[in-house]
Chain A
Amino acid sequence: MAEDIQHNQKSNFNGLTKPAKAGASKKLIIKNFKDRPKLTDSYTEDTWLKLRDAVGAIQNSTSIQYNLEELYQAVENLCSYKVSPMLYKQLRQVCEDHVRAQIHQFREESLDSLSFLKRMNRCWQDHCRQTIMIRSIFLFLDRTYVLQNSLLPSIWDTGLELFRAHIVSDSGVQSRTVEGILEQIERERNGETVDRSLLRSLLGMLSDLQVYKDSFEQRFLTETTRLYAAEGQRLMQDRDVPEYLHHVARRLEEENDRVISYLDQSTQKPLIAAVEKQLLGEHMTAILQKGLRTLLDESRECELTLLYELFNKVKGGLTALLQSWREYIKSSGGEIVSSPEKDKEMVQELLDFKDKMDLVSQRCFQRNDTFINAMKEAFENFINKRPNKPAELIAKYVDSKLRAGNKEATEEELERILDKIMIIFRFIHGKDVFEAFYKKDLAKRLLVGKSASVDAEKSMLSKLKHECGAAFTSKLEGMFKDMELSKDVMIQFKQYMQNQTDPSNIELTVNILTMGYWPSYIPMDVHLPAEMVKLQEVFKLFYLGKHSGRKLQWQPTLGHAVLKTEFKEGKKELQVSLFQTLVLLIFNEADECSVEEIRTATGIEDGELKRTLQSLACGKARVLNKTPRGKEVEDADRFHFNSDFRHKLFRIKINQIQMKETVEEQVSTTERVFQDRQYQIDAAVVRIMKMRKTLSHNLLVSELYNQLKFPVKPADLKKRIESLIDRDYMERDKENANQYHYVA
């Protein structure tokens, strides 16, 4: 209905204005209005009284005597007769009087805060409802007069303005309202249920009245900060870190929910920021110090994920977490690496530790690259804290996995273990130590025939080649080649033997090892039985006949043999080392021997001999008896053949002793590495100096660090430089001691 009236009015206007603009195609005839009907003088007065009554009725929530259409029409009429300004003024006055009167109900001191809030809410709701109603009646005024006049607020805005000016701007009322709201929020934070719709309505009011930011938000944020500052302090003391983290997460969720339910959207950012700052930002160091170690130690993925997510929100959080994570790996890893009494488990522990840290970075730290890189860096750092030993132990660990009799792993598992080992290996600086021990162990596996699988060996070799380049593995590959060539040679040798007139009753297998490829073995002179010596000569003749100019050197330490033996129980075959063979063969002639007699007969060096005797008389398979009994072999001990020996197997291996690493071996391998390093330093210095001719000390040292692939101390470099000066490979500048010259 209102629409219709408006439409009519508009068409009137159109009638007036359109012809002036158009006038092209259609002709319109414009006629003047008839004279306006005059109003009675009292009309304005009467109509206003009518309207005022209606407004009064709305404000007092009583029924209106006139129907609304009539009132609307009245407003329209008044407006048509240019009394809009007065009408607006009068209306405003009436509203103002009413709103002003409302303040009294809030003056009551006795009211408790909740009732106060409720009253305020009711008052506000009433005010809104009334204003809408009034605006509907005065819509014509609003549209035609107020909106045209940019200086005047619309009826609705006037209502808000009045409410703000007379109710909410009253400092007492405002502070009671805000206090009340804050109190309700605090209650809710403390776990009580509160009337959320009431809060939403009141906060909406503050927002509508545009006092939300100034009167409420600031106080609210201060309160929040205060509350959570205290809570953060308290809970950090009382609770352990995982609990605390869960609490923080819950708090953040609650506050977000609060924003959605009744706070203004604009508060979300500062609110969440305040909570995060107070509960997390302020306690970052404490949380990390107090809790990270335990969380990581116990691999508590859920809490670690939470920790990461929470710290991600705080400024500088991830940096702090990253730092602590790096420290943790360094110290925990350092513990694994740097306790010699735990060397046996070191590599396994390293692998487990790496797995654990990988898991954390994958699952909890969202595969963050900086975290993964920090982990790598930390690993490299701690693993090299203790020089050489980790490399040695990694090599031995690989040996233990590649050795025959290792039934714990299938091919695929073995492959996976080797891959993991390579990751650890990558961190090692002194790879030459690894190479030396790996080579020593590989040699034993190949020569004693204890390698678990050729495929696994080859796979490991290709991994090393991939990692360190062909130069690193060329000798190792040479070892494999030697083994293959030896097989061919042995086939030819067998044919050769068949054509011999004097066939031997011993079968001989020889592996021909190229010097340089293999670890160097100290040649040991032992007394071989005549048959063996003869066979050696035959082979020598055969081999040198094919390859003249070569030199053969026999390595008795590496030899092994199968002996046929008759015990009371029956025939057995003993798989033994060459040294063991020599000892056992003595008992073909003698029943009982002293250590001294055996030593004279075999020529085996003392330490080696005792180890050999121990393996035969004190090990699992005791083919010799020792008097007196005991675990250790003493000089005065006597041995005799144990013909009562029993064993469930036909062929018995007693040569594990050959696979064992002796202390001397370990020491000499390490020493050889160090010796090699000296040569490498010397070579690098000379190479650099030859190219540069003249170089300052510092440049030479930094160039050396670029070229050398193993860790070395500056003092070590200096010693080598001095040694080269002493040997006239280079000289110091006569005037400037910091400058070196190459001496051609």
Chain B
Amino acid sequence: MPVKKKRKSSGSEDPSIRKCKITSYCRTQTPGRMVNPEDQFSNKKCLAWFYEYAGSDDIVGPESMEKFCEDIGVEPENIVMLVLAWKLEATNMGFFTKEEWLKGMTSLHCDCTERLQGRLDYLRSQLNDPVIFKSIYRYAFDFARDKDQRSLDMDTAKSMLALILGRTWPLFPVFHQFLEQSKYKVMNKDQWYNVLEFSRTVNTDLSNYDEDGAWPVMLDEFVEWHKARNIAL
């Protein structure tokens, strides 16, 4: 489970310091960028930056990824890392290839740690746009998927859902519980996509859920399970 793998050495020593760094940097950086932003981006610098982390195989692997996270002051399991990966169109969780890096960082105008730190708020703000959020959500499925499998194994799916929907969807804890007790071993793409639709359109009390609708059976079962449990309580 890649998400967890990265977590082990993420030092939680001083998040406050990190935050300070970011904010202070933002303040000084903003005027500079406004003077002449084009000039300041350099392909060469960006490439060099890439090789700070990448090994000889032209890829940033899980180990260097942690270092990278530490450098930009973000925990690996922070959602902004998902947005960044989406921006870079990274295909595999825990890896950035050279092409992904160059293409993505260029579009972000980032060639060094500080610049990227300056763009983190922008990346976070992307989550507020529902259309972009949906595309990030859908991207997350393929991103997190073991490329040998068609579907997401259930543990990864649960962690990813917690990351993306955990804070915004009130029913998430219940849904998580449902998945815990269900017999499902994997979550397929269709189910994944529909969980977002479900979280967006169905009321917290499930009052507007249409059993005859096209919802995947997994969600039918969730609703049934939840209702039965509510009666039992």
Judge whether A726 and B150 touch: CB under 8 Å: yes
Q: Nearest Cβ distance between residue B37 and chain A, in whole angstroms?
A: 34
Q: Nearest Cβ distance between residue B74 and chain A, in whole angstroms?
A: 31
Q: A697-B213, A718-B217, A722-B216 are in contact. Are A737 and B197 (CB under 8 A)?
A: yes
List the count of A-B residue pairs having beta carbons below 8 Å apart. Answer: 43
Measured CA separation A740–B190 after assembly (Å): 12
Q: A715-B220, A737-B197 are in contact. Are A726 and B214 (CB under 8 A)?
A: no
Judge whether B188 and A722 touch: CB under 8 Å: yes
Flag whether B212 is at the interface (Cβ < 8 A). Answer: yes
Of all chain B residues, the one with the shortest Cβ separation from A719 is B217
Interface residues of A in 699-714 (CB under 8 A from B): 701, 714
Q: A726-B188, A726-B189 are in contact. Are A715 and B217 (CB under 8 A)?
A: yes
Flag whether A144 is at the interface (Cβ < 8 A). Answer: no
Flag whether A310 is at the interface (Cβ < 8 A). Answer: no
Measured CA separation A14–B148 after assembly (Å): 129
Q: Which residues of B contact A739 (CB under 8 A)?
A: 214
Flag whether B194 is at the interface (Cβ < 8 A). Answer: yes
Flag whether B193 is at the interface (Cβ < 8 A). Answer: yes
Measured CA separation A714–B214 after assembly (Å): 10
Of all chain A residues, the one with the shortest Cβ separation from B210 is A738
**Size category of the binding interface on chain B:** 10 to 19
Measured CA separation A696–B210 after assembly (Å): 14
Residue contacts A-B, CB under 8 angstroms, 10 given = A696-B214, A698-B214, A714-B212, A715-B220, A718-B214, A718-B216, A726-B188, A726-B190, A737-B193, A737-B213
Flag whether B215 is at the interface (Cβ < 8 A). Answer: yes
Interface residues of A in 665-705 (CB under 8 A from B): 696-698, 701
Measured CA separation A394–B216 after assembly (Å): 36
Measured CA separation A719–B150 after assembly (Å): 17
Interface residues of A in 525-557 (CB under 8 A from B): none
Judge whether B212 and A698 touch: CB under 8 Å: yes
Q: Nearest Cβ distance between residue B177 and chain A, in whole angstroms?
A: 22
Q: Which residues of B contact A374 (CB under 8 A)?
A: none
Q: Which residues of B contact A740 (CB under 8 A)?
A: 214
Q: Nearest Cβ distance between residue B139 and chain A, in whole angstroms?
A: 13
Flag whether A599 is at the interface (Cβ < 8 A). Answer: no
Judge whether B212 and A722 touch: CB under 8 Å: no
Known: A718-B220, A725-B189, A737-B215. 19 other contacts (CB 8 A): A701-B212, A715-B217, A715-B220, A718-B214, A718-B215, A718-B217, A719-B217, A722-B188, A722-B191, A725-B188, A726-B188, A726-B189, A726-B190, A732-B190, A737-B193, A737-B213, A737-B214, A738-B214, A740-B214
Measured CA separation A649–B217 after assembly (Å): 63
Of all chain B residues, the one with the shortest Cβ separation from A725 is B190
Measured CA separation A333–B193 after assembly (Å): 46
Residue among A701, A715, A740 with max Cβ neighbours from chain B (10 Å) = A715
Interface residues of B in 186-220 (CB under 8 A from A): 188-191, 193-194, 197, 212-217, 220
Measured CA separation A740–B215 after assembly (Å): 12
Measured CA separation A696–B212 after assembly (Å): 12
Judge whether A722 and B217 touch: CB under 8 Å: yes
Q: Nearest Cβ distance between residue A675 and chain B, in whole angstroms?
A: 19
Q: A715-B220, A732-B193 are in contact. Are A738 and B213 (CB under 8 A)?
A: yes
Q: Which residues of B contact A714 (CB under 8 A)?
A: 212
Q: Which residues of A contact B188 (CB under 8 A)?
A: 722, 725-726
Measured CA separation A28–B190 after assembly (Å): 120
Measured CA separation A715–B213 after assembly (Å): 11
Of all chain A residues, the one with the shortest Cβ separation from B221 is A715
Measured CA separation A497–B220 after assembly (Å): 67
Judge whether B220 and A722 touch: CB under 8 Å: no
Judge whether B194 and A737 touch: CB under 8 Å: yes
